[in-house]
Amino acid sequence: MELVHAVVGPLSTNVYVLGDERSREAIAIDTTIPCLEWFVDELEDRGWTLKLIINTHGHWDHMSANAEVQAHTGAQIAIHPDDRYRLLKPEPISAPFEIPPSVPAVDLAEGGEVRFGEIRLQVLHTPGHTEGSVCLLSADDGLLFSGDTLFPGGWGRVDFPGGDAEQMVASLGRLATLEDRLRVLPGHGGWPGHPCRLPVA
């Protein structure tokens, strides 16, 4: 698996693209405005075809570019069912621009797996920041894409609509049981000079 990354938008969102070197298929994790030009360049430079846009949750800074990236690439959109409504009717909390709706076609269910070529991402439902927040575990590569569940030295806010402090505590406790060799790639911060570590169990 090859991984490319950019920091995008007014809230400095980490946008990730994972490519399978053999099939040349790619997956995006969290698309935000204005990432389309960067996406186009990266995909063309590598000869990749984007097949899936994954949203770790439905806040605008992680999904605002879904519609335009999908229109350009034809990729399907995936999110946990509990956050599906956030894509269909975006809630632009403090967003500096209009957020176009998008229609997810793939449910990221707890215990499910995203598979393209040799890419394997296990879906972990980690509510707390939103009802449908997920983390994505690549056990083979020792990576955890944590969205806004876990940041360097902290975790996502729980005071927005759909947030829940007790659920966040439970989700962080779950992540603490994972192997500590994992490298955590969060939705904000933590790249490249400040590694994000799993919480201590």
Q: Would you list the domain boundaries of the chain? A: 2-186
pTM of the model: 0.92
Residues 6+ apart with CB under 8 A from 14: 5, 6, 7, 30, 185, 186, 187, 188, 189, 190, 191
| CATH code of the domain occupying 2-186 | 3.60.15.10
Q: Which residue in 40, 51, 31, 156 sits closest to 100, CA to CA?
A: 31
Residue 57 pLDDT more than 70? yes
Neighbours of 140 (CB within 10 A): 11
Residue bearing tokens 């944590």: 146
| pLDDT at residue number 193 | 46
Query: How large a percentage of the chain has pLDDT more than 90?
Result: 78
CA gap 19, 13 in Å, rounded = 20
- Under 8 Å between Cβ of 6 and 15: yes
Residues 6+ apart with CB under 8 A from 54: 27, 28, 29, 30, 78, 79, 108, 114, 121, 136
Residue 194 pLDDT more than 50? no
Residue 89 pLDDT more than 60? yes
Amino acid at 67: A
Average pLDDT over residues 85-100: 88
Average pLDDT over residues 25-44: 94
